[in-house]
Structure 1
């Protein structure tokens, strides 16, 4: 495999991850809001959602940490920190990798 085919595969993979990550993180936020709503109304989520909720907690925490890193690092790559933090929160590690590969310093 040459360098251009690896770059092409990587670009396609990044695109697929970004397409999948956005609705999953959005659904995770929705599930978290539903969980908070059930707690305030003294009701419960269906029990089959408990393992999913654990994964959602982990994913949201990881994406939040990545967003903070992106916000701190973005100005060094001439990117707006808030915009890039929000983008990285929704796409995850791919956003950080794209930021670090940005050679417009």
Structure 2
């Protein structure tokens, strides 16, 4: 079992709203079990179900792949960000003019 706050701190930068949304989705699919304790302040704990545990080999493999290709993934992410920034600059430079397929 793991408490919500500890889980949020462990997985890094994620909003409470997004983590709650993801955990509720996992709960709906039977991957985690949610337990709410009627205390003040409220306490909520999550536990991976037997079905959720069947994903461990797949997730371990994905984590290994991501570690192996970390540098390339970071490079691609940076390239995508630079491309998006260039597009925004181009749009800003064009002012309110609408770009069409004939614009170069």
Larger radius of gyration: 2
Structure showing the higher helix proportion among its residues: 1
- Shared fold (TM-score, shorter chain, > 0.5): no
Using structure 1 for the length normalisation, give the TM-score. 0.31
Q: Which has the higher contact order (CA 8 A, sep 6+)?
A: 1
